[in-house]
Amino acid sequence: MEVVLALTIAGMLATLAVPYFRPGIGAGALRARASEIAGLLRRDRNLALHLQRRSAVLVDAGGGAIRSGLLDETIVMPNGISLKLLPESAPGVVFQPDGSSSGARIVLAARQSSIAVDVNRLTAAIRISEAKP
């Protein structure tokens, strides 16, 4: 009888604890999304150079979406990942035909992890780095 009672109590405690230990969006998922964003930015940059046309990649931080300027491609962030563009006054990242860009930092954050996709203003180089929370 005591064993059955102990197992019942352990089962109830486990049922109460499961919602707190659900796997969420961690550093690996953030890095995967950052790689996806970096790929989109690189494709737009390369296409701007190839076509000799200006390209603007729009970042909708509130809606959690990034839309390509020259490609029919949009990346939407899943629930749990917030998106921030720095400088905040910019609508997105602009790539010029001469190989330069407007420069920007796109920060992705979830729980206690954050990662950034940096676009160099002069060279339009795109790099993924750890962001300080």
Q: Provide the pLDDT for residue 132.
A: 73
**Domain ranges, residue 111:** 25-130
Q: Looking at the predicted structure, is the pLDDT value of residue 3 above 60?
A: yes
Minimum mean pLDDT range among 7-11, 37-41, 118-122: 7-11
Question: pTM for the complete prediction?
Answer: 0.79
CA of 123: how far to CAs of 35, 107, 129, in Å? 19, 20, 17
Q: Is residue 48 part of a domain?
A: yes
For the chain, how many structural domains are there in total? 1
pLDDT tier at 133, thresholds 50, 70, 90: low
Query: Which pLDDT value is given to residue 34?
Result: 94
pLDDT score at 18: 65
Q: State how far the Cα of 64 lies from the Cα of 66, in Å rounded to an integer.
A: 7
Q: 130 pLDDT band (50/70/90 cuts)?
A: confident
Question: Which strand (E) or helix (H) includes residue 82?
Answer: strand 82-86
Q: Which two tokens stand for residue 71?
A: 């490609």
Q: Which residue has the higher pLDDT, 83 or 26?
A: 83
d(CA 120, CA 99): 11
The string of pLDDT tens digits covering residues 13-34 is 888 776 665 555 677 888 999 9
Tell me if 81 is assigned to some domain.
Answer: yes
Output the six-digit token pair for 99: 């190989």
Q: Which residue has the higher pLDDT, 85 or 112?
A: 85
* 108 has pLDDT over 80: yes
Please indicate, yes or no, if residue 14 is contained in any of the structural domains.
Answer: no
Position 12 in a domain: no
Residue 33 lies in a domain: yes
Which domain CATH number covers 83? 3.55.40.10
Mean pLDDT of the chain: 89
Q: Name the one residue in this structure whose structure tokens are 């796997």.
A: 23
| Residue 5 within a domain | no
Torsion of CA 94, 84, 82, 29, to 10 degrees: 60
pLDDT at residue 25, rounded to an integer: 67
Residue 82 belongs to a domain: yes
